[in-house]
Amino acid sequence: MYEDDLTLLRQRNLKVTPQRLQILHYLHTHYTHPDADEIYTALKRTSPSLSRTTVYNALETLKKENIIHAITISAGETRYDARTDTHHHFLCTACKKISDIELICPNIKRVEGGGYCIEEVHGYFKGLCPLCAKKQERKDESKDPT
């Protein structure tokens, strides 16, 4: 899955800037679907001169070139993913964590059968992640006197 960041940029004839490399590296080492602010804050620690606009612009460029994917699972929030193969996402409504869900969508063949050419497939699930579901369970148990 991991490809050399430098090669990824060169293949698309993108200018190789340290910022783009930093952002790509961050996303390839953090498959947690961070948002732009999270990436900015993390990189700012080692690159104090980094501007928010640079991060936003770089993300926009990388997204356009399909090097990264933008996920808009919750309204008004964009999260980024360096995995560009087809996979689905689960948003935990409690801790806001987005996890990858490995599923093959059984409907793809039916859609393609209608003459459509599919470029992207997104599946979104929302609910409680295993950790939060357990916490919820414990809370319910403590409420229950039996």
Question: How many residues belong to the chain?
Answer: 146
| Contact present, 88 and 68 (Cβ < 8 Å) | no
CA 89 to chain centre: 9
Closer CB to Zn ion, 27 or 55, in the complex = 27
- The footprint of Zn ion (CB under 5 A) covers 81, 83, 92, 94-95, 100, 129, 132
CB of 2 to Zn ion, least distance (A): 14
Closer CB to Zn ion, 10 or 122, in the complex = 122
CB of 93 to Zn ion, least distance (A): 8
Closer CB to Zn ion, 5 or 81, in the complex = 81
CB of 13 to Zn ion, least distance (A): 26
C-alpha 22/C-alpha 24 separation (Å) is: 5
| Burial (CB count <10 Å: 0-12, 13-18, 19+), residue 62 | buried
| Contact present, 55 and 49 (Cβ < 8 Å) | no
Closer CB to Zn ion, 52 or 97, in the complex = 97
CB of 137 to Zn ion, least distance (A): 13
